[in-house]
Structure 1
């Protein structure tokens, strides 16, 4: 058999085949290194990246393929003025999110507009039984009578202190005058209504205090008379909160010509607050940081800017806006917390520095 010339040649020529294989390997390696690899990142944690699809180990969200921003910008913006900010460039008060990412984190927007809104209140209530107020009113009336009979003996300081006590129990100055004039009998507070009326006590939460006013119409219902509704108005609001439940007591008078309502009878008070043409946005759009309230306003198809707002009345799913957002502006109504987290990840403590 004829020997191979490559291997029958001198020692220096016998290494030609291994050297050729080594060169092929090196060239192949360099070509693979120069080939661009795909990069995947987490929409909620952009600092985490991977060279293959999968899920984020922090939040388990599906990784998103990172596009070539420079190529995209060149294609989409080559006809626009050079002074316009390129996509991907962010200021300290704006967040840039692609349409794909907006869909991923579930961003939805709503336009701020003027609306006619109505809020319903359903308050736990009972027919009044208030021996403390009865005793305070009786003592006050007696002090006034004694002062009229013997002004040189009576003490003006005592009357002032009794008035303060009645104010603490929730009566206004006008109501104190009404109860002490003889037009109202304090015994109604412990024996039940007279002259075709009944007194109703209701509890209102601190958050609803700005919406409830004296004079607001109410309707009282009780399971004892399921087909009856006792209508009236709020007469006064207590001045001191219950420290445990963070509620205030409302005092109302309702019509009860048949004297059906008895002291401590339980029921529900319904009230309705209506406002016309007030600027409002979805309540879900408002991010309360504890120090201030923020709303993310959409300034472009892929741009969002946090704005501090002052709010007014809350109508369940809608909130009145006093300042910060203008009529016609588009605000983020869903995933507000997620876009705020995105801003904090990108800008850190400067996210709300505006």
Structure 2
């Protein structure tokens, strides 16, 4: 009997020891795994407070909703200093939740490079220019006289002939000819008679508005149609662009040479001219993304944190529905293309708040419930 009790006691003691050993092992294993996971897990960012999605000056220490039922935006440690990155006077950067963006209809587009070209339309006419014809003939006569007198023993004749050539060249430049065209005239490479009596090739004068001249250069293709000659299209190339602006019409004369083997075009025939220009591949944004204020163009750039930044831009040519961007944006940035007038209103409001320091101190800020009853400011 005593043996049985002793055996039972030994079994019980053994089980207790085994159980204690197992608990010790399990505790060490669990604590070690937890410590490893804690060391390897990334540190969570601390939420400092919550900000009204439309009025950053209204904050809350606890999650809340605005007057429209939208969630307040959490502000994390390190992000509390929302510096104003606006480059437009009187505007400020601000956040806007995705829900509110959807409500007001915000749409965006990515800034990218794309091939751009444009057609310039202008009125024109077949050249009938007796004055230019006379100036060309005068220049050629001056060149001939200089050639004949170059070996003269009387220096006065040589000087006078050179001065006459210079004077004729200046007159041609004032009439719109380029240095290259004048050199061609000196080599006999242009038929001046075409200015008054076209023979197989005519000169065309197209009056192009000064703001459209940028990018035009000799050698570009043109097309011309005469209402008096339906069904015929005359194609040629630009030969020169006048350096002189016609003040009353604010246009610049573009000269082109056009083959006319049938002799259909008569001097002074009215023409509709189309100039084909290529701007190459340029950085561009939709025209709906651009706003103007005080002669300054700007856009709203959206960042990854759902903040909108007014950004001044320098624009180039406008081609169809796009503006060429010279400066202010980089490829891949996101710009607003719709509801930007509403964003502009909010941006101006935030600029006023920042300038006047109207944001109340933390002790005076109303709780979310009060914000529901007495909303501050206008929403865009």
**TM value normalised by structure 1:** 0.69
Q: Which residue of 1 aligns with 2:276?
A: 272
Q: Does 1:344 align with 2:348?
A: yes
Q: Which residue of 2 aligns with 1:189?
A: 195
TM-superposed deviation, 1:147:
1.7
TM-superposed deviation, 1:95:
3.3
Q: Which residue of 2 aligns with 1:6?
A: none
Asked if the contact 1:92–1:347 (Cα under 8 Å) also holds between the matched residues in 2, the reply is no
Q: Does 1:326 align with 2:325?
A: no
TM-superposed deviation, 1:100:
6.9
Asked if the contact 2:128–2:268 (Cα under 8 Å) also holds between the matched residues in 1, the reply is yes
Deviates more, 1:328-337 or 1:103-112: 103-112
**Could you tell me how far apart the structure 1 residues matched to 2:98 and 2:165 are?**
71
Asked if the contact 1:205–1:247 (Cα under 8 Å) also holds between the matched residues in 2, the reply is yes
Q: Does 1:297 align with 2:308?
A: no
Question: Structure 1 stretches of 5 or more lacking a match?
Answer: 1-42, 47-65
Q: Which residue of 2 aligns with 1:311?
A: 315
> Kindly tell me: are residues 104 and 242 of structure 1, through their superposed partners in 2, closer, same or farther at Cα, counting changes over 3 Å?
farther
**Could you tell me how far apart the structure 1 residues matched to 2:164 and 2:172 are?**
13
Size of the aligned set, in residue pairs, is: 283
**Could you tell me how far apart the structure 2 residues matched to 1:155 and 1:172 are?**
22
Q: Which residue of 2 aligns with 1:162?
A: 168
TM-superposed deviation, 1:112:
0.8
**Could you tell me how far apart the structure 1 residues matched to 2:142 and 2:307 are?**
69
Q: Does 1:123 align with 2:122?
A: yes
> Kindly tell me: are residues 226 and 103 of structure 1, through their superposed partners in 2, closer, same or farther at Cα, counting changes over 3 Å?
farther
Asked if the contact 2:149–2:161 (Cα under 8 Å) also holds between the matched residues in 1, the reply is no
**TM value normalised by structure 2:** 0.65
TM-superposed deviation, 1:259:
1.3
TM-superposed deviation, 1:276:
4.5
2:262 pairs with 253, 258, 261, which one?
A: 258
**Could you tell me how far apart the structure 1 residues matched to 2:175 and 2:236 are?**
21
SS at match of 1:312: strand
Q: Which residue of 1 aligns with 2:230?
A: 226
**Could you tell me how far apart the structure 2 residues matched to 1:142 and 1:159 are?**
9
Cα-to-partner distance string for 1:194-245 (whole Å, 9 max, x where unaligned): 2x21111112122222232211111111122221111110110010112233
**Could you tell me how far apart the structure 2 residues matched to 1:124 and 1:140 are?**
30
TM-superposed deviation, 1:271:
2.4
> Kindly tell me: are residues 311 and 244 of structure 1, through their superposed partners in 2, closer, same or farther at Cα, counting changes over 3 Å?
same
**Could you tell me how far apart the structure 2 residues matched to 1:137 and 1:183 are?**
12
**Could you tell me how far apart the structure 2 residues matched to 1:338 and 1:255 are?**
55
Asked if the contact 1:90–1:96 (Cα under 8 Å) also holds between the matched residues in 2, the reply is no
> Kindly tell me: are residues 308 and 138 of structure 1, through their superposed partners in 2, closer, same or farther at Cα, counting changes over 3 Å?
same
> Kindly tell me: are residues 100 and 170 of structure 1, through their superposed partners in 2, closer, same or farther at Cα, counting changes over 3 Å?
farther
SS at match of 1:210: coil
**Could you tell me how far apart the structure 2 residues matched to 1:164 and 1:336 are?**
53
TM-superposed deviation, 1:343:
3.0
Asked if the contact 1:123–1:202 (Cα under 8 Å) also holds between the matched residues in 2, the reply is yes
1:210 pairs with 200, 211, 214, which one?
A: 214
2:202 pairs with 171, 187, 198, which one?
A: 198
> Kindly tell me: are residues 101 and 229 of structure 1, through their superposed partners in 2, closer, same or farther at Cα, counting changes over 3 Å?
same
TM-superposed deviation, 1:321:
2.1
Cα-to-partner distance string for 1:66-124 (whole Å, 9 max, x where unaligned): 9975334995555x6322249xx673621344567656766432211122233122221
Q: Which residue of 2 aligns with 1:83?
A: 78
Pairwise CA RMSD of aligned residues?
A: 3.3
Asked if the contact 2:111–2:333 (Cα under 8 Å) also holds between the matched residues in 1, the reply is yes
Q: Does 1:136 align with 2:131?
A: no
**Largest Rg, 1 or 2:** 2
> Kindly tell me: are residues 145 and 291 of structure 1, through their superposed partners in 2, closer, same or farther at Cα, counting changes over 3 Å?
same
**Could you tell me how far apart the structure 1 residues matched to 2:133 and 2:353 are?**
57
Q: Which residue of 1 aligns with 2:36?
A: none
Q: Which residue of 2 aligns with 1:29?
A: none
Cα-to-partner distance string for 1:247-269 (whole Å, 9 max, x where unaligned): 11100011111111111111211
